[in-house]
Amino acid sequence: MTANSSEQAGYLAPLSDSPAYDEVLEREISRWIRAVSGLPDGTVFPRWADPQPKIPPLGTDWAAFGITSIQEDANPASVSNGDESDQQWQHETITIICCFYGPGGQAISTRFRDGLRVAQNNVELNRTTLTYADNSRIVSAPELINKQWQRRYDINVTLRRKVVREYGIKRLVDAPVTYFGD
């Protein structure tokens, strides 16, 4: 096994754990959407999942969401973490489409939109390392599901978070030096 530090040539992988991505991040987002919108447990689903969850029957209020982009800031900061490592600090912007279905979809989508700006809701979201940044307007987007039209209301939400990754970049503290000449 090779060393994962700048003491030897080669690529460096992060030493620290990554923030939540994939299913872990989707679970956090699902809980947040459910809590802010007031939807009951088991009614908020990731849009693109394998296996695909069963769609609730017509006449049920529910929501689906999907992470549509993760954009990093242009210039991450490199921060010294002592003689043994450096940290890379970067901010990510995560865009999520939230789709609210059912006979109460319009009311639920507006309740969710209004709840985004409640400070206590953002404090709870901050516990997951995310913070609310912005949202789009609500758009009506009826969808044909199982040969039946269902009411659907979409809103895009932008979240932000700081990502810190630690790398084994060692400091040069001592070097053998030989002076020669006058």
> What pTM was computed for the model?
0.86
**Angle 22-37/119-126 helices, nearest 10 degrees?**
160
**Mean pLDDT along residues 96-109:** 98
Q: Rounded CA gap, 52 and 132, in Å?
A: 28
Q: Binning pLDDT at 50, 70 and 90, where does residue 177 land?
A: low
If one counts the domains in the chain, the total is 1
Considering the domain boundaries, does residue 172 fall inside one?
no
pLDDT digit string, tens, across residues 2-39: 468 888 888 888 888 888 999 999 999 999 999 999 99
- CATH code at position 28: 3.30.2000
pLDDT, residue 171, reads: 78
Q: Binning pLDDT at 50, 70 and 90, where does residue 42 land?
A: very high
The mean predicted confidence, pLDDT, of the chain is 90
pLDDT value at 135 more than 90: yes
Residue 149, token pair as written in the block: 């039209």
The residue segments making up the domain with residue 56 are 22-167
